[in-house]
Amino acid sequence: MKLIDLLVQELPKRGGWNNGWAAVSYDENNNICAHEKLPTHTSHFGGWTDASGNTLCDEWKVLHITSEVDWEDGFITREQYEAALQQPVWNGEGLPPVGCKFEYGSHRTAATCLGVGFDMVFAWKGEPLGEDYEEFMISIKDSSFYAARTEAERKRDRFITAIGNEDAIGTYITKDEAELIYDAIAAGKIPGVTLL
């Protein structure tokens, strides 16, 4: 899961962004931490430093989480958080609204909606201005549309598909059983087994 997605999901339940925070980060102990100054660098277990290389000790533990967060997300500023709050969220009913992330087709490919026409959804994917950026059309009558999954949900789906493959472990496991196994591992109920 991306740090920004977690903040959008959890901070509003806890009073939102505090005016004293310059940025929010994630640490190796599964804590979401707020910083009074804007951090510029971090390393695993090394903590945050400011522009002069001084270690920042002005952090507050805002939230302890059990789900995995991408370290590469770095830190999130208030501006990034507020911009993410403005992104439309779609529940999967009807067609995706403009600006909303969604998934389509049998492989559930991720895209962002540019517009909806009479029989087409206009969309884009990739990094804007990047080599992988692409704009395209999706036929409304020939495709299915789904609400976007989080990275954690996609990871869970990949695990369930893989463990349900009889060739993977030599026996057949139902989808319900695979879900129970994943959820037990994610909750830490199986000692010595963790999700990567």
pLDDT digits (tens, 9 = 90+) for 117-171: 999 999 999 887 888 899 999 999 999 999 887 777 778 888 888 887 777 777 7
Note the pTM of the prediction, 2 decimals: 0.50
- In degrees and rounded to multiples of 5, residue 185 shows phi and psi of -65, -45
The answer to whether residue 110 is domain-embedded is yes
Count of domains observed in the chain: 3
Q: Within this chain, do residues 41 and 115 fall inside the same structural domain, yes or no?
A: no
Token couple for 54: 């001084």
The answer to whether residue 54 is domain-embedded is yes
Q: What is the pLDDT of residue 43?
A: 45
Q: Within this chain, do residues 130 and 156 fall inside the same structural domain, yes or no?
A: no
The domain containing residue 106 runs over which residues? 101-147
Q: Within this chain, do residues 117 and 175 fall inside the same structural domain, yes or no?
A: no
Q: Within this chain, do residues 79 and 12 fall inside the same structural domain, yes or no?
A: yes
Question: Which residues of the chain are under the pLDDT cut of 50?
Answer: 43-46, 57-58
Q: Within this chain, do residues 8 and 67 fall inside the same structural domain, yes or no?
A: yes
* DSSP-assigned letter for residue 96: P
Report the C-alpha gap between 22 and 137 in whole angstroms: 40
Q: What is the pLDDT of residue 25?
A: 78
Q: Within this chain, do residues 19 and 82 fall inside the same structural domain, yes or no?
A: yes
What is the enclosing helix (H) or strand (E) of 84?
Answer: helix 78-86
